Structure 1
Amino acid sequence: MTTAPIFELSQLLRDAQAYWWPFCRLLALLSMAPLFNHKSVSIRVRVLLALVLTFALGKMLPVPPEIEPLSLKGIMTTFEQIIFGVILGLMLQLVFTIFMLVGEVISGQMGMSMARYNDPTNGVSSSSIIYQLYFILLVFLFFSIDCHLLIISVFYQSFIHWPVGGGLHYLGIEAFLRGIAWTFSAAVLISLPIVFCMALVQFCFGLLNRISPAMNLFSLGFPITILVGLLCIYLTLPNMPHSYLHLTRELLDTIGLALQGA
């Protein structure tokens, strides 16, 4: 009779392991995933959402090996789940990073680098006004194609290909590094037409400065450069949903290769 409660407690701790490892990975994933990592989403909301999703998906995930949570192996396994979640979250964040780089490049070409959005009340860090325009559109596109459900699907698939206690894999880290390089190349390709138009406008004003040095090009060139930049953004915005879908498919293919490579 005296050993029954102790036995039940040990059995309860073993059953809790099936939820502890997914909770660590999911919380790290939500801390890095797009929109969920925004500072307007408090830490309490992320923890509560991670708990709800963990209890909803815990029984459907593969059965983890029996590892003592307080042992050295258990602590290393916990860090392993956190690293897996961080890698997946950063990879899912790459599409938003692409448009952040595009906004920064376009702002620099338009001469609006000094126009920053800063909201100290909500704790939002400063970013360019052009990126805020892209960010608002990305939020609508994110929910319109059910990317919040894709994040849960990626989380579930990660436990199939990256099981608990499986250790870190070189191919997954290599795919993440390739994804970073792909981010810069995609940002260059998206911003290249606008950058070319802005460079052409600045080149024309440079020629006018050589022809008529007395003309005040600073008071004339700056507003025209902004107007041409806004016109280029207006002409390229209809292609943004197609670009977002294409980049999302490429990103999911990259994540799939990283998971299957493990």
Structure 2
Amino acid sequence: MDPSLAPEIVNSWIQLAAVAFARVGTAILLLPGFGEAQIPPRIRIALGLVLTLSLLPILPLPEPPQQVTAFALLIGAEAAIGIFIGAGARILIAALHLLGALVGMVSGLSNAFAPSQANTEGATALAALLSVAAIAMIFATDLHHLMISAILRSYAILPPGRLPVGDMTDQIARLGAGAFHIATSMATPFLVIAVVLNLALGLANRIMPTMQVFFVAAPGLILAGLTIFVITLPAVLDHMMVVLSDWLLALSM
């Protein structure tokens, strides 16, 4: 090899690495398990960089454009695709955050706040527990391998240089609606129990006006909510992992 060509080759590899990092690194910064708020940003960026360099030899990347404007547009498009992948998975996991809020509301635990592992804002204690359990399930079931595979195989569906903004926006909207549907459907048993208990306590108060309904209702709602929560927690987490894996598989097919 001509030594005079070494700077051009090195420059070409740096540009290819920048294009790859725009998608891979951005997705890693947002994906559940990898992009949690409790992980320092430097660690997340370093992880994205290491993963980018590991996948770089097998990524189907085009020759970087020579024009600065075209290169910047390519970087922006790749970063947008990475945001789409990471945000899509994050939106699905947010269904557990909403579920915890609903369960806390109907069971009388909505005022029990705890730091959330998946969101920067506060959450109810049940939502924080669901978030931690979901992150643990992701790594226990090797779902993080599927996330990396989805990033790798996304190049077949969304090749570099193509940015279907309309399709991506529609998919994000569908994921948001799906997250609300999942949360409300899984919260149905809690809503039913809350309605039944409140109706029963209302009838009891009509029969016995001197009964302190609040002091009877609060412990009953908390006990019923926690009991159903413990019983349904394995099924909730299993269903959530299936939904997330199905979306990642559809992205990587």
Question: TM-score when scaled to structure 1?
Answer: 0.87
Amino acid in structure 2 at the alignment position of 1:20: A
Amino acid in structure 1 at the alignment position of 2:236: M
Counterpart among 5, 28, 31 of residue 30 in structure 1: 28
> How many residues get paired?
250
How far off is 1:254 after superposition?
Answer: 4.9
Q: Contact 1:175–1:255 (CA<8 Å) still a contact in 2?
A: no
Counterpart among 164, 171, 176 of residue 175 in structure 1: 171
* 1:5-24 paired onto structure 2 within 5 Å: 7-24=5-22
The 10-residue stretch of structure 1 (208-217 or 45-54) with the greater mean CA deviation from structure 2: 208-217
Amino acid in structure 2 at the alignment position of 1:11: I
Counterpart among 82, 99, 103 of residue 102 in structure 1: 99
Distance in 2 (CA, whole Å) between partners of 1:8 and 1:215 is 87
Distance in 1 (CA, whole Å) between partners of 2:195 and 2:88 is 32
Gaps in structure 2 of 5+ consecutive residues: none
Instruction: Report whether the alignment pairs 1:42 with 2:40.
Output: yes
How far off is 1:116 after superposition?
Answer: 0.4
RMSD: 2.2
Q: Secondary structure of the equivalent of 2:121?
A: strand
Task: Give the aligned partner of residue 247 of structure 2.
Answer: 251
Assess, with a 3 A threshold, how the Cα gap between structure 1 residues 94 and 112 changes in structure 2: closer, same or farther. Answer: same
Amino acid in structure 2 at the alignment position of 1:50: G
Counterpart among 181, 184, 196 of residue 185 in structure 1: 181
Distance in 2 (CA, whole Å) between partners of 1:254 and 1:226 is 39
Task: Give the aligned partner of residue 204 of structure 2.
Answer: 208
Q: Contact 1:65–1:165 (CA<8 Å) still a contact in 2?
A: no
Q: Contact 2:186–2:236 (CA<8 Å) still a contact in 1?
A: no
How far off is 1:125 after superposition?
Answer: 3.4
* 1:53-132 paired onto structure 2 within 5 Å: 53-68=51-66, 71-118=68-115, 125-132=121-128
Instruction: Report whether the alignment pairs 1:155 with 2:151.
Output: yes
Identity %: 22
Distance in 2 (CA, whole Å) between partners of 1:59 and 1:94 is 31
Q: Contact 1:179–1:254 (CA<8 Å) still a contact in 2?
A: no
Distance in 1 (CA, whole Å) between partners of 2:54 and 2:143 is 19
Deviations 1:20-55 (A, max 9, x none): 111111221112110222121111111111111111
Gaps in structure 1 of 5+ consecutive residues: none
Deviations 1:138-175 (A, max 9, x none): 12211122111111101101122212212334223322
Amino acid in structure 2 at the alignment position of 1:176: I
Amino acid in structure 1 at the alignment position of 2:11: L
Amino acid in structure 2 at the alignment position of 1:201: L
